């Protein structure tokens, strides 16, 4: 069963402008929106075009003749147009904590070796006291950022490495300068959401499975790009055939 509300995945990026703003975060929403089969999302370059399409509600789309169309009554389809409403965060409170035994290793080189092999090499280096390290209790590769989290068994090791800021590490055939930073973890203590309507995007539903995926997508884009049909320049179009399911990802509109 698909959830009644869109899944909300958020990406947090640190933003420091001056000393007074050191605790501020920039929130960039990344919304995952379930898309049922027989529907499409179409984004226009101009919001007024999307509004005109929504006001008409029902549209008759003419399909091109081809080998996939055998009956004359299949040359036109009726689709329904509706606005796209999503939930966006309006307020956020987080509790940040710092692990005194953990470091964040970044600026890792691209060596073309498996993640486990890279983790082994880093653990070997940072477990040696002559390199300023100590016994490594755990290690984790962060796929989203390409960074590594190392946790030491003893207190004090992480603090000394963080104070150095950078360290030369022998990885592969050469030495590489890696950045050592404190590792912060956070828990969301309060998240408030508010409904928001996508101004340039329209949800099309009731699309019958009478054409292949690409021909149907082309037919929809051709129809809704015509000014005589109330349409306009199409920025993006995603179509999910009947019997399938998809997920649309909404990001911040910077246009």
Q: In this predicted model, what pLDDT tens digit does every residue of 202-243 receive, in sequence order?
A: 999 999 988 889 999 999 999 999 998 899 999 999 999 999
- Return the pLDDT at 19: 53
Q: Where are the domains of the chain?
A: 31-90+192-251, 93-189
Instruction: Summarize pLDDT for 96-132 with one digit per residue, the tens.
Output: 888 899 999 998 887 778 889 889 999 999 999 999 9
Band of residue 82 on the pLDDT scale cut at 50, 70, 90:
very high
Give the pLDDT of residue 18.
Answer: 56
Q: What CATH fold (topology level) applies to the domain 93-189?
A: Alpha-Beta Plaits (3.30.70)
Report which of residues 93 and 173 the model is more confident about: 93
Position 250 pLDDT exceeds 80: yes
* pLDDT range class, residue 255, cuts 50, 70, 90: low
DSSP string over the chain: ---SS-EEEEEEEE--SSGGGTT-EEEEEEEEEEEETTEEEEEESSHHHHHHHHHH-EEEEE----TT--SGGGSEEEEEEEEEEEEEEEEEEEEEEEEEEEEEEE--------HHHHHHHHHHHHT-GGGT---EEEEEEETTTTEEEEEESSTTHHHHHHHH-EEEEEETTEEEEEEEEEEEEEEEEEEEEEEEEEEEEEEEE---S-S-HHHHHHHHHHHHH-GGGT---EEEEEEE-TT-EEEEEE-----
Per-residue pLDDT reduced to its tens digit, 143-198: 878 899 999 999 999 999 999 999 998 776 778 899 999 988 888 888 888 888 99
Q: Does the pLDDT of residue 39 top 70, yes or no?
A: yes
């Amino acid at each position: 069963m698909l959830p009644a509300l869109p899944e909300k995945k958020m990406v947090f990026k640190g933003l420091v402008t001056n000393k007074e703003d050191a605790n501020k975060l920039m929130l960039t929403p990344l919304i995952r929106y379930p898309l049922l089969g027989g529907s499409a999302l179409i984004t226009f370059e101009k919001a007024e075009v999307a509004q005109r399409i929504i006001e008409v509600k029902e549209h008759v789309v003419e399909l091109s003749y081809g080998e996939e169309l055998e009956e004359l009554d299949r040359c036109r389809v009726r689709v329904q147009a509706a606005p796209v409403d999503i939930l966006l965060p309006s307020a956020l409170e987080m509790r940040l904590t710092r692990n005194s035994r953990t470091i964040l290793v970044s600026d890792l080189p691209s060596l073309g070796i498996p993640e486990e092999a890279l983790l082994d090499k880093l653990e070997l280096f940072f477990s040696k006291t002559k390199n300023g390290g100590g016994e490594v209790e755990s290690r984790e590769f962060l796929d989203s950022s390409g960074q590594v989290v190392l946790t030491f068994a003893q207190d004090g090791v992480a603090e000394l490495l963080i104070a150095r800021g950078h360290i030369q590490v022998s990885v592969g055939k050469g030495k590489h300068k890696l950045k050592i930073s404190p590792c912060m973890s956070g828990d969301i203590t309060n998240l408030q959401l508010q409904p928001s309507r996508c101004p340039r995007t329209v949800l099309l539903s009731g699309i019958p499975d009478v054409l292949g995926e690409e021909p149907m997508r082309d037919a929809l884009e051709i129809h809704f790009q015509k000014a005589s049909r109330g349409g306009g320049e199409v920025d993006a179009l995603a179509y999910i055939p009947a019997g399938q399911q998809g997920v649309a990802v909404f990001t911040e509109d910077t246009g």
